[in-house]
Each structure stands twice: as C-alpha cells, then as structure tokens.
C-alpha cells in the first residue's frame, strides 16, 4: 500500500495503548500508558506490531520514531501482570507468550527494518524499555531522561539481549556498572558512555528528533538498509544467539525465591531482602 500525501494519525486497532502518526517522512510510534509509565502489555505490543505494519506499507515513511507519552519513556514489562503469572502453573509460558515473545519479535523487526529507527527518550527508560532502545539505531534523549536496567533489584535478569547490547554500546566495565548497580543513569552520562547520540534541552526533544528524521530521510534508503545489515553482521555472537541464552536463563530462574522476593518487594513498595548466593 502506498501512503497518502496527508500527515496525521492513523488508526491502530484496539485500545489506545499506543498511537501512530505520520509526520512528513517519519512515522511516530508513541507508547501511550502514561499513568503506568508506559509499561509494556500484550495489547501494547500487539498494537506496536500493527503500527509497524502501517509504516512498512507506506512508501512515504522513510524514518521510524519510537517515543513515550507523559513523563516516562517505558518502565519495562507490566510488573503486576508479571507477578500474577508467578502463581499460575503455566505462568512462565503465558508470560513468555504475552510479553517476551512479542517484544522479541518487535525488537527483531526494528533491527531488521530497512528504515532508520530513532528512539526519542522523553523520560525514565527502564528494564524492557532499555532493551527496546537497544534495538534502535539512534537514541536521542531529553536532558531529564534516565536509564536503568532495574533487573537486579527485581531478582531477575535481562531476557532479550540487554546485557550483550549494553556491553556493545558501553564496554564491559560500564555495562557491569549499569547492570549490577541497577540505578538510574542520567542522559548526559549515557551520552558520555556512548549509548545516547544526543541530549536535548528541556522541551526540545520533539523538535530535534523531527530535524534528525528529516536529515535521515534525505539519505539513500539503499545505503541505510545495507549499512544497518553490515553493522549487525559484524556483531559476534549474533543477537539471535544472545537471545537464546537469555531466554534459557529466564526459564531456569522463573518463580525462583529471588524473583518472588523482588516482585513482592516492588508490589509492597519496600526494599527487597535477597538470600545470599548458594
């Protein structure tokens, strides 16, 4: 399908957990659960795939932009759903099917897209949100944005390639710092580390992202697609191999004492008390 000349919102079926809008040459995909810090749900992820379908069907879309509504970019997976699945006998498979598998597929589509993908990080970016931006090509952040792996405080570990992605983006020791401390890191620091390409002043993120999208739209689509593929092919082990290792650990750790304590503590708004290592 060829897109029409008019910019504006396009309908993504389902509840309004995500919005899609073409602005000139860019398709803006906005996570839209601001009251829940844009935590990922099965519905949101389904709509994200539909939004990519719309973008891919529109030959006037030259750039993809991923951002969040409200004060946060994305807090990661919806932990209420995560915690509820621990009580279910088939909870691991259900959580994987509802969240991890569609998130993995979404990240794969962003990586494989022939279009450049900009992550416009407008606020807190944590856990699955951090993993999501690692699948993008260019990260631009508001000066007040923060980045947190968060998994170590919840008794879990990244399931979709964040550890390897951070090592590649930051280097081994800085990746360990972000992963092990599980504390928010500011946008300026992440820019110094190499993850964030540009930090924008307050209120300037949307304008600057629009400028970058316009610049990218003037580059050769053939060259952009080829260079993305070249960069990905240069990475060893591959993202697919890394992902399989992460998922195997996630399954082994499912419903472990550490995972239960971390999620229970989060729900109770208290500090977790983890048992010492075996």
Residue 185 lies in a domain: yes
Residue 276 lies in a domain: no
Question: Other C-beta atoms within 10 Å of 278: how many?
Answer: 3
* HSE (side-chain half, CA atoms, 13 Å) at 66: 31
Q: What is the largest distance, in Å, between two alpha-carbon atoms of the chain?
A: 62
Compare 245 and 144 and report the one with higher pLDDT: 144
- β-pair partners for 74: 125
Specify the number of domains making up the chain: 1
Is the pLDDT confidence value at 239 over 90? no
Domain at 263, CATH number: 3.90.226.10
CA distance 178 to 170: 9
pLDDT tens digit string along 76-130?
999 999 999 999 999 999 999 999 999 999 999 999 999 999 999 999 999 999 9
Comparing C-alpha atoms, which of 63, 51, 169, 171 is closest to residue 116? Answer: 63
pLDDT at 236 (0 to 100): 80
Q: Are 26 and 67 a contacting pair, CB within 8 Å?
A: no
Range of the domain at 41: 8-268
* DSSP state letter for 69: S
pLDDT tens digit string along 47-70?
999 999 999 999 999 999 999 999
- The pTM (predicted TM-score) of the whole model is 0.92
């Amino acid at each position: 399908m060829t897109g029409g000349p008019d910019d504006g919102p396009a309908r993504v079926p389902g509840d309004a957990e995500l919005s899609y809008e073409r602005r000139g040459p860019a398709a803006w995909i906005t996570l839209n659960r601001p009251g829940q810090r844009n935590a990922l749900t099965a519905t949101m992820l389904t709509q994200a795939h539909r939004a990519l379908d719309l973008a891919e069907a529109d030959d006037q879309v030259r750039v993809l932009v991923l951002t969040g509504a409200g004060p946060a970019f994305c807090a990661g997976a919806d932990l209420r759903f995560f915690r509820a699945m621990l009580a279910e006998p088939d909870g691991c498979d259900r959580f994987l099917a509802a969240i991890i598998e569609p998130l993995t597929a979404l990240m794969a589509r962003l990586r494989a897209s022939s279009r450049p993908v900009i992550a416009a990080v407008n606020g807190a970016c944590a856990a699955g949100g951090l993993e999501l931006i690692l699948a993008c090509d260019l990260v631009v952040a508001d000066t007040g944005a923060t980045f947190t792996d968060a998994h170590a405080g919840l008794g879990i570990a990244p399931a979709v390639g964040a550890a390897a992605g951070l090592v590649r983006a930051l280097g081994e020791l800085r990746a360990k710092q972000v992963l092990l401390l599980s504390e928010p890191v500011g946008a300026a620091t992440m820019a110094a580390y190499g993850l964030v390409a540009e930090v924008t002043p307050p209120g300037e993120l949307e304008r600057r992202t629009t400028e970058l999208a316009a610049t990218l739209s003037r580059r050769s689509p053939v060259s952009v697609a080829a260079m993305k593929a070249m960069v990905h092919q240069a990475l060893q082990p591959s993202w697919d191999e890394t992902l399989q290792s992460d998922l195997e650990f996630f399954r082994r750790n499912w419903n472990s004492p550490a995972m239960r304590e971390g999620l229970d503590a989060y729900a109770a708004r208290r500090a977790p008390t983890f048992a010492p290592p075996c």
